[in-house]
Amino acid sequence: MRVIPAIDIIGGKCVRLSQGDYKTKKVYNEHPLEVALEFEAHGVQHIHLVDLDGAKAKHIVNYKVLEAIATKTNLKIDFGGGLKSNEDLKIAFDCGAGQITGGSIAVNDRDTFLGWLETYGAKRIILGADVKDERIAISGWQQESDKKLIPFVKDYQGKGIKYVICTDINKDGMLGGPALELYKRLLAQTMINKTAVSMSGIEDVKLPGISLIASGGIGNIADLPALKEIGCEGAILGKAIYENKISLKQLEQFILSV
């Protein structure tokens, strides 16, 4: 399982919110590159970089932060927040993103999002499925759509989406543990039925479908093996690191163990 620390950006600074509420903003470091370099020094290979200004403005804003981290580290960066146009996407990839996450656009502009998937492929386009009470939330979590989580994800799975980041907004930043039961149900509902030939003959088997990246609620190091156990491909964590609930040494040891 990939361990993916989050770096959320407002005004070029590393911040964290609670449950997506911009009023709860807390600045942890004025220099996100310093944070990224420290992660890399402790064995981290992937980060989730979120342009919170972009999410509000509905276009990419903090691409210079992305560019700085991409050029000065070897981290693989998933970038999200405010990506609404082909030009936004080009800027993100030109500035060094390895993958991008599309959430609101997958709800509001399906054709454009599917165009990105066709152009760049399933390895580079991640579906952002942020949920509040199992309904998809959009616009930096400021609005709740009429889309329900599992049908929403299954629909895009049928269009070729492989990677899905699912954030339970009610748990985000609260350090109370991830939404294990929600993730179990989502993984079970998106498994693929296959016919296989075994020693005993032909039988139906279920194979993993989506690569699910859990996000929100991780509060201690024990949450990571719990997510790995249920089949998550990755886990995004942020506040637990910044509030010293999980040390970078613990994170390093877990990365070495998986």
Residue 168 is among the residues annotated as catalytic for this protein: no
CB count, 10 Å around CB of 108? 15
Q: Which CATH number do you get for residue 193? A: 3.20.20.70
Residue 51 is among the residues annotated as catalytic for this protein: no
Contact predicate 180/227, CB 8 Å: yes
DSSP result, 138-198: ETTTTEEEEEEHHHHHHHHHHTT--EEEEEETTTTTT-S---HHHHHHHHHHT-EEEEEEE
Q: What does the angle CA 188 – CA 234 – CA 49 come to, to the nearest 5 degrees?
A: 130
Provide the pLDDT for residue 203: 65
Predicted confidence pLDDT, tens digits, the chain (258 residues)? 999 999 999 999 999 988 878 889 999 999 999 999 999 999 999 999 999 999 889 999 999 999 999 999 999 999 999 999 999 999 999 999 999 999 999 999 999 999 999 999 999 999 999 999 889 988 766 677 899 999 999 999 999 999 999 999 989 888 999 999 999 999 999 998 766 555 666 667 677 799 999 999 999 999 999 999 999 999 999 999 999 999 999 999 999 998
Q: Domain of residue 141: give its range.
A: 2-257
> For the chain, how many residues are written?
258
Provide the pLDDT for residue 202: 65
Provide the pLDDT for residue 200: 63
pTM: 0.93
Q: Largest alpha-carbon pair distance within the chain?
A: 61
Report the number of distinct structural domains present in the chain: 1
Q: What does the angle CA 236 – CA 238 – CA 243 come to, to the nearest 5 degrees?
A: 150
Residue with tokens 């990571």: 224
Of 53, 88, 130, 168, which residue is the catalytic one?
A: 130
